[in-house]
Amino acid sequence: MRPGGGIPTTGDLNRRLDQLSASIANPEPDASAAEYRIGTNDVLEINVFGAQELNQKVRVSAAGDISMPLAGAVKASGLTAQELESTLENKLRVYMNEPHVGVFVASVESHPVSVLGEVNKPGVFQVRAPKTLLEMLSMAQGLADDAGNTVLVMRGAGLREKPSEAHLAGVSEPEKTSPLGPSNADGITTDGQKTIDIDLKLLLDSGDPRYNVPIYPGDIIKVTKAGIVYVVGSVKRPGGFVMRSNEEMSILKAIALAEGVNDTAAKSRTRIIHTDEISGRRSETPVDLGKILAGKAPDQPLKPADIVFVPRSNTKSALIKGTETSIATASGFVIFHP
């Protein structure tokens, strides 16, 4: 939270993300890299000491095999580099006296994690060792300005096949099962254990490790876009206002963010223009803004994509033309990030 209890900005959330990522950083990255399990499409450098003609750079096939002179086809997928070295040495002993083989994973191509949506650097990241949600958000360089308050983790959605035990190698047994029991924590919901819905604010503010779920190869992470409410017409600062942290937005708050109405505003003929998310149809709700401002009528809640249209006093009562104009131009207004 910001000083004084205000709504956190994206910068505040990213600073908190950096702090949390630093506090849980893996102190022994070399140890985890040593336990990396080779996967399909990984690129390997193989060196046979004393037999340079056998040295080569190979890509693991879709079947999980590599092929090299004398050794033939060798299963590599699911093995660590050290285990593959031993396998190749055993194969070459038929032709060489005490062969020594070195295997280096030159390029990881089999452990993709996709980070999409409202992050600063969306893309596909190859991970050698198990990561957490916070680590992956940090690798994507934090949250974009339009980030909402929900993170979706789609298990295995980026893999054509079900993740194998080789993909989960190095993950402790309790983490291989879902960290979410039958009674899910507040701010986390699941869809048959295939999609995990996490409240971003709770992830960053609570410190509860249940929200910082483990991320496996093939997972897709999506940071949703924040809702935006538009205020157009006879107001001092028309535009779109981001609904940070899933905050509740009302017509009074929206008008306050727009710095109030102009003297020429026809407050009694204010309209809230709704758009149905499924059908795309628009509807209008008339409100008397003057009475709401005076406390004589209840405030009205707003939903993402709602447009608050405050007409000028000389606008025709039907407001058809004004409504169509406000809808057509709302997307072109400046988006403000409170």
How far is residue 99's CA from residue 338's CA, in Å, rounded to a whole number?
A: 66
Tokens found for residue 151: 């993170």
How far is residue 227's CA from residue 89's CA, in Å, rounded to a whole number?
A: 59
- The pLDDT of residue 1 is 43
- The pLDDT of residue 338 is 53
Overall average pLDDT of the 236-265 stretch: 86
- CA 89 to the chain's CA centroid: 43
- The pLDDT of residue 158 is 60
Listed in sequence order, the residues at least 6 apart from 232 whose beta carbon sits closer than 8 Å to its beta carbon are 238, 307, 308, 309, 310, 326, 329, 330, 333
Tokens found for residue 71: 């050794």
pLDDT tens-digit readout, 137-181? 999 998 888 888 889 999 877 665 554 444 444 443 333 333 343
Q: Is the pLDDT of residue 70 over 50?
A: yes
Average model confidence (pLDDT) for the chain? 79
User: Where does residue 334 rank: exposed (0-12), middle (13-18), buried (19+ CB within 10 A)?
Assistant: exposed
Q: Please check whether the two domains, 10-27+110-225 and 37-107, share a CATH topology.
A: no
Task: Considering only residues 320 and 16, tell me which one the structure prediction assigns the higher pLDDT.
Answer: 16
SS3 112: strand
Task: Kindly state which CATH superfamily the domain 10-27+110-225 is placed in.
Answer: Outer membrane lipoprotein wza domain like (3.10.560.10)
pLDDT band for position 220 (cuts 50, 70, 90): very high
Delimit the domains of the chain by residue range.
10-27+110-225, 37-107, 228-336
pLDDT tens-digit readout, 194-219? 889 998 888 888 778 888 899 988 89
pLDDT band for position 251 (cuts 50, 70, 90): very high
Task: Kindly state which CATH superfamily the domain 228-336 is placed in.
Answer: Outer membrane lipoprotein wza domain like (3.10.560.10)
